Amino acid sequence: MGLRFTVLGSGSTGNATIVQGQDATVLVDAGLSVKRIEELMREQGVSGHNIDAILVTHEHSDHIKGLGAFARKFNVPIYANEATWGALERHVGQLGSEQRVIIETGETINFGAMRSTSYAISHDAAEPVGYVFEEDGLKLSLATDLGYVSDKVRRMIEDSDVLVLESNHDVNMLRMGRYPWNIKRRILSDVGHLSNEAAGEALCQLMTDRTKRVYLAHLSLDHNLIDLARMTVNEILENNGHFFKREEHPLRKTYHDRPTAWDEVKQR
């Protein structure tokens, strides 16, 4: 078995993803209640006792809601950079010293044969990151909660076998939506969230012949629709000469209320 993963939940109501290698299983973010995370894990045949580490992208509540309680219940170490620890520590409660693991942004950590590398992203948090996972020549990249895809981010996540990429909002739906203007301005900014259009434009540079699947993630419940996101992204790809067979390069869904099916990242 190579890499495989399931997105337990994605969006402003809570984020959590399981990534599993040959001999290690990690949880990326714990932004749901412990009870809900356990329910979703059971659906996927996983227990909290199977989790070897929790990797944190940033300190916003939809990424750390159940973090401290989960780590305590299952005695799991938490990995985050120092600035993120400084921002989240008061929210997670008492932890054992061995559970508080500080890593540098850009550092590669080995979990058995699986390698995890964090990379800096642009978001309104202390020191937010995304993660790339690699094992046996396979590459899975997670990239959400970023205002734009910088050249550095592009170099980190391009040429992935599978990519989980934010497609948060439709710009027109957001502009016409009920949020106060200051929140809309934040979402639209370079430290906010990727729109459907921005996701499509980024994918024009990120997708290669190696890319098998793209999951559109962190969709807004108020300002997006999954079919609209897929249509917009696909239209931008086709308009830029990226014609692909749907069965080879499908745009996949993620959900705020249920997990994605396990996806095994395989060699071509």
Question: Cα 111–145–141 angle (5° rounding)?
Answer: 35
Closest C-alpha to 110, from 42, 160, 149, 53: 53
Q: How far from the centroid of its chain's Cα atoms is residue 81's Cα? A: 17
The C-alpha atoms of residue 139 and residue 30 are separated, in whole angstroms, by 22
Q: Are 214 and 203 in contact (CB under 8 A)?
A: yes
- Token pair 């948090």 is found at 125
Report the SS3 class of residue 141.
Answer: strand
CA–CA distance, 27 with 44 (Å, rounded to integer): 13
Q: Provide the pLDDT for residue 266.
A: 85
* Partners of 253 in the β-ladder: 216
Question: Within 93-193, where are the H helices?
Answer: 151-157, 171-176, 181-188
Q: How far, in Å, CA of 151 to CA of 59, rounded?
A: 24
**Helix (H, G, I), strand (E, B), or coil: what is residue 110?**
strand
Class of residue 135 by CB neighbours under 10 A (exposed 0-12, middle 13-18, buried 19+): buried
Output the pLDDT for position 248: 53
pLDDT score, position 250: 80
* Token code pair at residue 123: 């978001």
**Residue position matching structure tokens 């909002």:** 169
pLDDT by residue for the chain (268 residues), tens digit each? 679 999 999 999 999 999 999 999 999 999 999 999 999 999 999 999 999 999 999 999 999 999 999 999 999 999 999 999 999 999 999 999 999 999 999 999 999 999 999 999 999 999 999 999 999 999 999 999 999 999 999 999 999 999 999 999 999 999 999 999 999 999 999 999 999 999 999 999 999 889 999 999 999 999 999 999 999 999 999 998 876 555 555 899 999 999 999 999 987 6
Q: What structural domains does the chain harbor?
A: 4-264 (3.60.15.10)
Angstrom distances, CA of residue 235 to CA of 161, 196, 243, 246, 255: 21, 11, 10, 13, 22
189 Cβ contact partners less than 8 Å away, ≥ 6 residues apart: 124, 147
Q: Tell me if residue 34 falls in helix, strand or coil.
A: helix
Chain centroid offset of residue 28 CA: 7
Residue with tokens 């996540």: 157
Q: What is the pTM of this model?
A: 0.95
Spatial CA neighbour of 107 closest among 139, 132, 77: 132
Q: Which pLDDT score, from 0 to 100, does residue 245 have?
A: 54
